[in-house]
Amino acid sequence: MSISETLLEMKRKAGEELDHLNGTAALEALRVKVLGKKGELTALLKGLGQLAPEERPTAGAQINEAREWLTQRMDEAAAHLHKLERDAALKTETIDVTEPRPLPKVGASHPITLVMNDLIDCFTGMGFEVLQGPEVELDHYNFELMNIPKNHPSRDAQDTFYIDDNIVLRTHTSPMQARAMLTRKPPIRIVCPGRVYRADEVDATHSPVFHQMEGLVVDEHVTMADLRGTLTTFAKQLYGADVEIRFRPSFFPFTEPSAEVDLTCPACGGKGCHVCKETGWVEILGCGMVNPKVLEMCGIDSHRYSGFAFGIGLERLAMRRYGIRDMRLLYEGDARLLSQLR
């Protein structure tokens, strides 16, 4: 076979294969077989040396012409295949931008946070400032300044977490109020929300970590009428204008006189139900006039100034408001609890 016949046959066969390619991989295989280093065309080029010298230029030109023709046909085929493969991908990989996506998970505030924020709104509305302080406290601030003497039962290791002899996890937020009295001058109007700690066993109504908000007012001429007025405003703002409060005598070392405050049952309005155990009243906080000894220990002249204070347990309020019967539910972090309160 002459060179030109061989080239013609090579072009015919390649052309046929190009017409029946099934993908870019087959095209690349064909390109290697014909044009590659060990390909058919390269073999012909290497064979040029065996030809008579006068035949070489024509044969070389014919081979080059065939290489150009084949290269162009393969480039065209490559472009065509790419377009086909792209069209197919566009069809199968289409994204329907109108399809609804799964809704993102939305967070919710914890019931303790909800209650705390409501109380903060209420008291800041009456001119109170919010102060926060350390949860790891000196015994001196937590107990001594609150008129809780060394042999008092609440100082027992059974009731308090001790870090060492002088350092405790605060058992109430009172030490923060003591810090405020020691560093500020009256008038003082503050609320101190936060975590407090008692060495209690966990059950449906107890937890070693819980939350409190205490309030403190110190000024000239502060009386129990101011205390009652403040707490009445608080009760009506949180539970509605129809509720009433009542004071029952009580005892705290840091207040004198002291009182427990009850609220007409928000569930039944005072008629009696399972929430108030048929009494018509539910307990909401403890309070009193700041013990003059506490004022003096905190650097305040008890002859010129007087004050009132109160302490509210946030767990009890939150559980009552949201009908949560077991305190443990507040700390287990089960998102199903929160999702019900959104």
263 touches ligand 2NL (CB under 6 A): no
Cβ 178 to ligand 2NL, closest distance in Å?
A: 5
Tell which one of 310, 314, 315, 324 touches ligand 2NL (CB under 6 A): 310
Interaction pattern, residues 116-155, with ligand 2NL; x per rule: CB under 6 A: ----------------------------------------
Tell which one of 6, 177, 207, 306 touches ligand 2NL (CB under 6 A): 177
Question: Which residue has the CB atom at the shortest distance from ligand 2NL?
Answer: 311
Return the range that interacts with ligand 2NL (CB under 6 A); candidates 8-16, 198-206, 272-280, 303-311: 303-311
Q: Give the Å distances, CA to CA, from 278 to 63, 83, 262, 273.
A: 109, 82, 14, 5
Beta carbons within 10 angstroms of residue 227's beta carbon: 23
CB 217 within 8 A of CB 186: no
70 touches ligand 2NL (CB under 6 A): no
Q: Give the Å distances, CA to CA, from 23 to 80, 84, 87, 92, 263.
A: 10, 9, 13, 17, 82
Rank residues 36 and 133 by Cβ distance to ligand 2NL and give the closer one: 133
Distance, in Å, from the CA atom of 26 to the CA atom of 31, rounded to the nearest integer, reads: 9
Tell which one of 41, 191, 286, 318 touches ligand 2NL (CB under 6 A): 286
Q: Which DSSP letter does residue 200 get?
A: P
Cβ 285 to ligand 2NL, closest distance in Å?
A: 6
254 touches ligand 2NL (CB under 6 A): yes
Return the range that interacts with ligand 2NL (CB under 6 A); candidates 46-54, 94-102, 103-111, 286-294: 286-294
Rank residues 74 and 181 by Cβ distance to ligand 2NL and give the closer one: 181
User: Contacts with ligand 2NL: how many residues (CB under 6 A)?
Assistant: 16
Return the range that interacts with ligand 2NL (CB under 6 A); candidates 47-55, 95-103, 161-169, 249-257: 249-257
Q: Which two tokens stand for residue 248?
A: 């029952």
Cβ 133 to ligand 2NL, closest distance in Å?
A: 11
Distance, in Å, from the CA atom of 227 to the CA atom of 225, rounded to the nearest integer, reads: 5
Q: DSSP characters for 245-282?
A: EEEEEEEETTEEEEEEEEEE-TTTTTS--TTTTTSSEE
289 touches ligand 2NL (CB under 6 A): no
Return the range that interacts with ligand 2NL (CB under 6 A); candidates 58-66, 155-163, 308-316, 319-327: 308-316
Cβ 337 to ligand 2NL, closest distance in Å?
A: 26
| Exposed e or buried b per residue across 235-273, where buried means at least 16 C-beta atoms within 10 angstroms of its C-beta | bbbbbeeebebebeeeebbbbeebbbbbbbbbeeebeee
Of 169, 170, 117, 135, which Cα lies nearest the Cα of 318? 117
Q: 3-class DSSP state for residue 303?
A: coil
**In a 10 Å sphere around its CB, with 0-12 CB exposed, 13-18 middle and 19+ buried, how is residue 1 labelled?**
exposed
Cβ 249 to ligand 2NL, closest distance in Å?
A: 13
252 touches ligand 2NL (CB under 6 A): yes
174 touches ligand 2NL (CB under 6 A): yes
Q: Give the Å distances, CA to CA, from 131 to 161, 176, 283.
A: 23, 8, 25
Residues that bind ligand 2NL (CB under 6 A): 174, 177-178, 214, 216, 252, 254-255, 286-288, 290, 294, 309-311
